[in-house]
Structure 1
Amino acid sequence: MKIAHIAIWTRDLEGMRNFYMHYFDASSKDPYYNHTRDFKSYMLSFSDDCKLELMQMPGIPANKNDIRKQATGLIHFAISLGSKTQVDELTSQLKIDGFKVISEPRTTGDGYYESVVLDPEGNRIELTV
């Protein structure tokens, strides 16, 4: 078994799509649009078989997660970049470009090399080797 995809509700569908395509080399299918529900989505694909669905629909309430606190439920997803150098470089570039870095690159107690950044809407992304 494997996880087929992760989905994120978003306020700025095009902005989020551009972020993941620009910084993570995601490719995008054509948008899906359900006129009845005014639901729009993009399915983004990464170099392996991993996919990210970005979704937008009126009436979806804002996320109540606080970036300074942890809570139950899905808290982050990790993207493997392939090397420590790539983790360092992308973390630095995202910081330069004005994105929030929650945790600078480091080796964790369980041996992972990672940083944690926020996407444009505050979702946590763990950048790892």
Structure 2
Amino acid sequence: MASIFSRIVSGEIPSHKIAENEEFLAFLDAFPIAKGHTLVIPKKEVDYIFDLDDDTYTRLFLFAKSIVPALEKTVPCLRIGVSVIGLEVPHAHIHLLPLNSMADADFSKKIKISQEELADLATAIRGNM
């Protein structure tokens, strides 16, 4: 069965896309822990990030890095944090997290944000790319 992220890649499930190329996709987390919480995934379904071949792994992180300046311009923060946990969805992914304190990286606390706010945020981030 395809992961939820593979279903997003195929268009079966809608998402608020930030950036995309033939290999990777970045989109806003539907259940963010911070405003601007972005997920970066390979389109090819691989469960564990360390199972990616070295070239794909490197390109995935470079793709994620390319999004950071636009995210920083759009969401005021001290830093963009990076987290790779890999337990919640069996599809390799990177979390980009706008952070102002260590408490902002608490995955047990979700923020409330409407679909309209997510759409507007995605548009703003894309506009700063």
TM-score norm. by structure 2 comes to 0.28
Of Structure 1 and Structure 2, the greater strand share is in 1
Of Structure 1 and Structure 2, the greater helix share is in 2
Q: Is the radius of gyration larger for structure 1 or structure 2? A: 1
